[in-house]
Amino acid sequence: MTDNAASFIAKSTIKAADLEHRRKINFNIGKYNAVVPAGKQQFTDVMQVRERAKNSKWEAIEHLDKYLLEFEQKISAKGAKVIWAENTDEALEAIGAICRERNCKTLVKSKSMVTEEIHLNDYLERNGIESVETDLGEYIQQLDGEAPYHIVTPAMHKSKEDVAKLFADKLGTRPDLTPEELTLVARQKLREKYVEAEVGVTGANFMIADIGAIAVTENEGNARLSCAWPKTHIVIVGIEKMIPSITDLGTFWPLLSTFGTGQKVTVYNTIISGPRQSGETDGPEEMFVILLDNGRTNLLANTTSREALYCIRCGACLNACPVYKNIGGHAYETTYSGPIGKVITPHLRGVDDYKHLSYASSLCGNCTEVCPVRINLHELLLDNRHEAVVQGSSSIAERVAWKAWKMASLNRMMMNMGNGKMKNWVVNKVFKGWSMHRSQLDFSQKTFNELWKEKQKQSS
């Protein structure tokens, strides 16, 4: 067992027994479950919309080379500078160079999972640059020194009392502030930073190939402020966020908001196609777009798993997953948690270190059921398991155990051998790996085959 796997099991074991954590998560996800059905009512045929979105992402991913070059050519023509980053180090080096050239002391950034992926805040801190999260949930997590808990709702695991206590400890506010009062405190602190910052960083929900632009979806307006106030705007985006045309936004914007938060459409939806143009009164003086690979081409090269690149980061699969709801987002120790994280992380960060995530699933299929772009997540988890074995990542003991199980399962004589008590002893005591983190198997005293033979005998 790798250190990552051992840590995952240890953390998830502790968190699964934390009833207060479970109460908070069920409360917050319960609110989500209450509003998503209402959001779906805006679609005459929601399945048809999901199919259309999947087809658009299929087109974008299957011809990603063409669309990336088209995007680069068109956004560059409007004055943006495009930087290709193969990995985390190249992305951080590019951002560092931009900040040094502009003598950046303060940087504001909107919510972006890809910046979490490359650990941008840690890098900037090491280089003496203050990096301020401007999304309220991310700001709360930054104050607490924690990574985001959820793709869409970073502080989902915190109650309003937790946040009030945190603000009191870190900002000196009264410990009994209401959520509205806490929001006003955060707004006051953050508005000062927008004006101070020399550089603003955002992610992108979508890259639009045919017009050469990025689209940003948000509910707070902090992304608009992060890219409009500072003189320099840096966009960091994974190469998979491509969509072919601006006309596709009519499908993706309402789909993302409905499956992400239950809204018909989010409060702010912005298309940014370059820095401030001549004759325009606002916007940044310069814009950089960093296109990040960081293992995504590993997924692209896999004809089965590349479907995971269709993900629009709505978080619906996390909210649906019984494992995520019990162990929480931090137990995964990865940027992307939940079902989608379990599918993509082994490809992004190495099968040997992260194959254990693909086994942390009941394979109930609920993640596939709720995915707005209909990614077959539970099947991809099975495919990951298969790949891990083919690549030799499984242990000798594991391979022997499954070979014995297969041999017994395909042999009627062996299946009928002994009673349930003996079989329980073999599986639960001899093959201890199964029951170490699962309930013990309990075989029936007789197999179906034996019961059928008895029934036929009695009938005759």
pLDDT digits (tens, 9 = 90+) for 52-80: 999 999 999 999 999 999 999 999 999 99
Distances (CA, A) of 430 to 52, 253, 425, 437: 51, 53, 7, 15
Domain count, the chain: 3
Radius of gyration (C-alpha) of the chain in whole angstroms:
25
Q: Which of these three, 362, 394, 426, is where a domain ends? A: 394
282 and 315 share one domain: no
Task: For residue 378, give both structure tokens.
Answer: 């539970």
pLDDT digits (tens, 9 = 90+) for 86-141: 999 999 999 999 999 999 999 999 999 999 999 999 999 999 999 999 999 999 99
pLDDT digits (tens, 9 = 90+) for 390-439: 888 777 877 888 888 889 889 888 888 878 788 888 878 777 777 777 78
H/E run at residue 401? helix 396-409
Is there a domain that residue 149 lies in?
yes
Distance CA 84, CA 214 (A): 16
316 and 205 share one domain: no
For residue 161, give every residue at least 6 positions away whose Cβ sits within 8 Å of its Cβ, in sequence order, or none: none
pLDDT digits (tens, 9 = 90+) for 143-184: 999 999 999 999 999 999 999 999 999 999 999 999 999 999
Residue 421 has a pLDDT of 82
Q: Which of these three, 259, 294, 329, is where a domain ends? A: 294
Distance CA 148, CA 152 (A): 9
Task: For residue 37, give both structure tokens.
Answer: 């059905």
83 and 196 share one domain: yes
377 and 409 share one domain: no
Residue 395 and residue 43 in contact, taking contact as beta carbons nearer than 8 Å: no
User: Residue 42: pLDDT above 80?
Assistant: yes
Residue 393 has a pLDDT of 78
Distance CA 401, CA 427 (A): 9
For residue 65, give the CATH number of its domain.
3.40.50.10420
Residue 29 has a pLDDT of 94
Distance CA 212, CA 70 (A): 7
Beta strands 81-85 and 106-109: pairing type?
unpaired
Residue 403 has a pLDDT of 86
408 and 389 share one domain: no
Is there a domain that residue 338 lies in?
yes
- One-letter identity of residue 181: E
99 and 215 share one domain: yes
Distance CA 400, CA 12 (A): 27
> What domain range is 133 assigned to?
42-294
Distance CA 238, CA 340 (A): 15
Within 10 A of 391 (CB to CB), how many other CB atoms are there?
Answer: 11
Is there a domain that residue 65 lies in?
yes
User: Residue 380: pLDDT above 90?
Assistant: yes
For residue 157, give every residue at least 6 positions away whose Cβ sits within 8 Å of its Cβ, in sequence order, or none: 21, 24, 25, 149, 150, 328, 329, 330
Is there a domain that residue 146 lies in?
yes
347 and 203 share one domain: no
pTM over 0.75: yes
369 and 454 share one domain: no
Q: Kindly state the average pLDDT of the residues 377-381.
A: 97
Residue 425 has a pLDDT of 82
Is there a domain that residue 302 lies in?
no
H/E run at residue 181? helix 179-196
Distance CA 395, CA 286 (A): 52
Is there a domain that residue 299 lies in?
no
Q: Kindly state the average pLDDT of the residues 259-277.
A: 96
How many H-runs (helices) and E-runs (strands) does the chain carry?
Answer: 24, 10
348 and 408 share one domain: no
Nearest to 104 by CA among 88, 121, 124, 122: 124
- The sheet that has 242-243: what strands, in order across it? 242-243, 206-208, 213-218, 268-272
Within 10 A of 449 (CB to CB), how many other CB atoms are there?
Answer: 11
User: Residue 22: pLDDT above 90?
Assistant: yes
Give the residue ranges of DSSP H helices in 108-178. 113-117, 120-126, 136-143, 160-171
Residue 405 has a pLDDT of 82
Angle at 221 between CA 218 and CA 223, to 5 degrees: 75
pLDDT digits (tens, 9 = 90+) for 236-247: 999 999 999 999
Distance CA 122, CA 142 (A): 11
pLDDT digits (tens, 9 = 90+) for 344-360: 999 999 998 999 999 99
341 and 287 share one domain: no
- One-letter identity of residue 97: A
383 and 252 share one domain: no
Within 10 A of 325 (CB to CB), how many other CB atoms are there?
Answer: 17
Is there a domain that residue 300 lies in?
no
pLDDT digits (tens, 9 = 90+) for 295-325: 999 999 999 999 999 999 999 999 999 999 9
Residue 297 has a pLDDT of 97
Region at 363 (left for phi over 0; alpha for psi -120 to 50; beta for the rest):
left
| Sign of the Cα pseudo-torsion (134, 295, 49, 375, in order) | negative
Query: Binning pLDDT at 50, 70 and 90, where does residue 440 land?
Result: confident
Is there a domain that residue 322 lies in?
yes
Angle at 311 between CA 295 and CA 21, to 5 degrees: 95
370 and 389 share one domain: yes
Task: For residue 227, give both structure tokens.
Answer: 């890219």
Q: Which of these three, 394, 413, 431, is where a domain ends? A: 394
